[in-house]
Structure 1
Amino acid sequence: MNPEGILSLICVAFLWGVTNPLMGKGSSGIQRVKHSNFLVQFGSELKFLLLNWKFVLPFLVNQCGSILFYFTLSSTDLSIAVPLTNGLTFLFTSVAGQCLGEHPASARTFVGMACVLLGVVLCLTDKM
């Protein structure tokens, strides 16, 4: 696996991980959108999100990560791209969430993240 591919996957994980809690914060208030009709409810929620820059901006950055992931898959091994990206995304989401004031992760969560990262490192070293 080439170093550019690994760096691209780390960038994807960073983009996805950092934008996850930002989209969560940006969508706060959607619970107040209430309608009895399902279609009107769906449309109102969609309108709420699309007109809210605090949601739209992180969403667009997140989608840029998806585009980068798509192009990176053409030159990387899928069996390493998916675990590397997903494992690091979880780590970046946890760190970004804590920086934004979300409740801190438990010790068990950190042990789980360490196990995932160790597994990713083992997969990487096996493929090289």
Structure 2
Amino acid sequence: MDPDTPAPSAPPGAFNYLLSFLLVGLAWGFTTPFIRRAAVDFNARNEGKQGDIPSAEARGPSLLSPSWIKEKAVSVFWTVVNLLRTPAYSVPLLINLTGSVWFFLLVGKHELSLTVPITNSTAFLFTVLGEWYVEGKVISKETWLGMTLVLGGIALCVHSKT
């Protein structure tokens, strides 16, 4: 073997994969309540501004006329731009989308039968915890039981593959 040739590296251990799954679940689940709250706040701020728009009957032309479609497309475009310019929305969204990139990389490196259930289950767990943190929602006994069962299911999935 040539001394200049690097030795083949061992694949990452199970702990690294599990940590990666948890990070994806955290990025997907914990950011969701923040995104929801920012979107609700954004809509509440903008409801007063939309009150000046006349109803469809007052405008006259058909709802499918080119001018109506263009007006709606421009309105949607500027709503998205203004929403993305809101840090309370865009920062959690960016973290959430980063989780999607991590997930894509995990799917390419690990078994699909572990990657998908673990990441989606941990996203659920972190969503519940995020709602508790962001909105102050009380976590019921049944939800705690469900979260415990989810963790047990994840442990069984991991154990069955080792």
Do the structures match in fold with TM over 0.5?
Answer: yes
Q: 1:25 aligns with which of 37, 41, 46?
A: 37
Q: Distance in 1 between matches of 2:81 and 2:108?
A: 35
TM-score under structure 2 length normalisation: 0.69
Displacement, 1:101?
3.1
CA distance in 2, matches of 1:75, 1:30: 40
Higher relative contact order (CA 8 A, sep 6+): 2
Query: Alpha carbon RMSD of aligned pairs, Å?
Result: 2.0
Output the CA distance in 1 between the equivalents of 2:115 and 2:24.
10
Q: Is the 8 A contact 1:30 1:45 kept in 2?
A: no
Secondary structure of the structure 2 residue equivalent to 1:29: helix
Q: Is the radius of gyration larger for structure 1 or structure 2?
A: 2
TM-score, structure 1 normalization: 0.86
Are 2:98 and 1:86 aligned?
A: no
Q: What is the aligned residue count?
A: 128
The alpha-carbon deviation at position 43 of structure 1 amounts to 2.8
Equivalent position amino acid for 2:116 in 1: V
CA distance in 2, matches of 1:74, 1:99: 33
- Whole-Å Cα distance in 2 between the matches of residues 78 and 109 of structure 1? 27
1:98-109 matches, within 5 Å, as 98-109=132-143
Structure 1 unaligned spans of 5+ = none
More divergent stretch after superposition (98-107 vs 66-75)? 98-107
Q: Shift in Å at residue 102 of structure 1?
A: 3.1
Counterpart Cα distance in 2 of 1:112 and 1:43: 40
- How far apart are 1:125 and its partner, in Å? 0.4
